[in-house]
Amino acid sequence: MKKILIPLLSLVVSLAFLSAPLSAEDFYSQLSVGKPEIHGNLAVYPIYLPKGGEKIGDILTMGEAIESGQFKITELSEGASVNLLEVNNYTGKNVILLAGEIIRGAKQDRIISYDMVVPPGGKYYVDVFCVEAGRWTEVSAEFSYKEEIAPSIIRYSAQKKMDQSAVWSDVSLVNEGVGVYSASDTLTASYSDEEFLEQVEEYKKAFEDLVDDKEVVGVIVVSEGSIQAGDIFANHDLFKKVWTRLLTSYSMDGVLSSGLGEVPSASEMEEYLAQLGDADREELFDDGTQNRASLTKGAMSAYELEFENKKVHLNVY
């Protein structure tokens, strides 16, 4: 199988619904980083919060919401759009959508552009990117969800580059690296290749037990000597809910990577996270409920999401 280089330096930090608002500096000062587990091309660092983090309310993942039958994602009712979809949330609960989550069907497969919270009570709009360049024919009225998150190179293109052409290009690179062909060049073709998935499963088995420690709230993943991706949540329970799909994404990165490279120490990772506490903040969007801002600290750039004045998610590149 031909492999591709993933030149990605990204960290995705997801801070979901703190029960009492904490300053960024206070939150990051509580994080600690454990010794990495290493398998093949990946080093995975567990991230801890005391007592497993803050308790949060009853929040649904997209998988849980869709399974309830009260959460539906469709093309726009007033006319389909490549980069915007319609969501109807009648679950009565907030629903978290994670950047890079793959939804299949309708006129073409998509990924969620960035993490967001969909509140209950009606129709909302969700920004997406297409990951199936060669189809614009409806195959279903609603999107389905198989709890898949795209490899990091795709998440990076969507969140940092914000460029549909770049996303399509990187989808082609992933499929080429896996060695699959799809008439519509859909990313989901790589999720059906048996040889590739066997290698992915080897990585998943090596790291799946990280979720057993109840103080672990996330991970940072290193490959090729650099941060490849990472996800940190407000508490262990939310991290546990999404661990399987995130681990699949990381494992795909491992198979597609050119090698492990230098492995930073746990203390170096803690120093990296600590920079987030006093980064400069510039507001990008505020609708009264959700707020997005850019954060900068030296060479670090990040994007922060707040919902109802509580930190929800932070992407760092």
CA distance 241 to 147: 11
Q: Which of 111-115, 148-152, 208-212, 226-230 has the lowest mean pLDDT?
A: 226-230
**What confidence score (pLDDT) does residue 219 get?**
93
Q: What is the pTM of this model?
A: 0.89
The answer on pLDDT for 62 being more than 90 is yes
Q: What is the mean predicted confidence (pLDDT) over 101-110?
A: 97
What's the whole-number average pLDDT of the chain? 88
CA distance 313 to 1: 36
Contact, 139 vs 124, CB < 8 A? no
Which region, left, alpha or beta, applies to residue 79 given φ > 0 means left and ψ of -120 to 50 means alpha?
left
- Token pair recorded at residue 211: 């979720």
Write out pLDDT tens, residues 166-203.
999 999 999 999 999 999 999 999 999 999 999 999 99
